[in-house]
Structure 1
Amino acid sequence: MAETCYAQCMAIQILPTLSLAETELEVSYILASGPGGQNVNKVATAAQLRFNAAASPALSERIKQRLLEIAGSRATRDGVIVITARRFRTQLRNREDAIERLADLIREAAHRPAYRVATRPSRAAKRRRLDGKAHRATLKRQRTVRFDD
């Protein structure tokens, strides 16, 4: 039921400095559930994209490693990422959706997280914090009603 389609040799732009050749992607079409009425029982509209991240020459080792971590259960032990898109009723839109989801994953993997450098509050900052707490405590103490005997 699944037919395989190998794309032309076009490049998919991920980042200004990173692009994937469409020949690295393998897209097959499978029967889908969801919208489409009787058509979903007859036509294979869901797109299943397979991308061998471990063997991709376009990705650096750091990006490959992070991509496979981010992909989670979508990645096989061999380093192949499998994305199934069945959101739309047509093969073309599902194929584009799968490619865009892969591109988002790669963009996320290419982004270097900013590491926070731990700092300690200065003596003046501690003093300001304590002064503010004391001021609030004074205000609250003044609100209480006292009865003198």
Structure 2
Amino acid sequence: MKDFTKELNFKTSRSSGAGGQNVNKVETSVTVTWKVDDSEFFNERQKSLIREKLKNRINLEGFLFLSVSESRTQFQNKKIAIEKILDLVDKSLFIPKFRAKTKPTRSSVEKRIQQKKQNSDKKENRRFKF
């Protein structure tokens, strides 16, 4: 996991929702922005992967946005936001291993059919015969 926290910009605002006086006067909500294209920590291939996988979170100017207002303190929200954005980018860089589709072998198909036949015969023998 690359630590690109030096490239992150933070903006605070008042949280929405219930909370009374604390919500009304303290700016605890934190919005993190990160310009993907200007990053010095990632190469072009990694940047294109990030842009592709996080395209719903990146705006037209190329900024990745993330807002956090989970905690009552600005410091906690900033820590949570950093963790979340690092995790998001780390997951977007993951490339799943290629898995080639395979056909079942002839013997496994025959074995399955044989098993079905045995089961069918077993149930047929349970039936009441006149």
User: TM-score normalized by structure 2?
Assistant: 0.91
Aligned to 2:34: 51
Amino acid at match of 2:40: P
Alignment of 1:118 onto 2:107 = no
> Aligned residue for 1:97?
80
Partner of 1:11: none
Q: Runs (4+) of structure 1 moved beyond 4 Å?
A: none
Say whether 1:128 aligns with 2:111: yes
**SS of 1:74's equivalent?**
coil
Post-superposition Cα deviations, 1:41-86, rounded to whole Å, max 9, x if no partner, equal 1111000000111211111223222222332432111221010000
Structure with greater strand percent = 1
TM-score (norm 1): 0.80
Listed one character per residue, the Cα deviations across residues 100-142 of structure 1 (whole Å, up to 9, x for unaligned) are 1111111111211122201111111111111111111111111
Give structure 1 stretches of 5+ with no counterpart: 1-14
Q: Is the 8 A contact 1:54 1:78 kept in 2?
A: no
3-state DSSP of counterpart to 2:95: coil
Instruction: Kindly tell me the number of residue pairs found equivalent between the two proteins.
Output: 130
CA contact (8 A) 1:70 1:105 kept: no
SS at match of 2:120: helix
Q: Residue 30 of structure 1 contacts residue 44 of structure 1 at CA under 8 Å; is this kept in 2?
A: yes
1:30 has 2:17 as partner: no
Whether 1:19 and 2:6 are equivalent positions in the alignment is: no
Report the identity percentage. Answer: 30
What's the Cα RMSD here? 1.5
Higher relative contact order (CA 8 A, sep 6+): 2
Is the Cα contact below 8 Å between 2:32 and 2:67 reproduced in 1? yes
Once the two structures are TM-superposed, the CA of residue 35 in structure 1 deviates from its matched residue by 5.2
In structure 2, runs of 5+ residues without a counterpart are none
Instruction: Determine the C-alpha separation between the residues in 1 that align with 2:114 and 2:51.
Output: 50
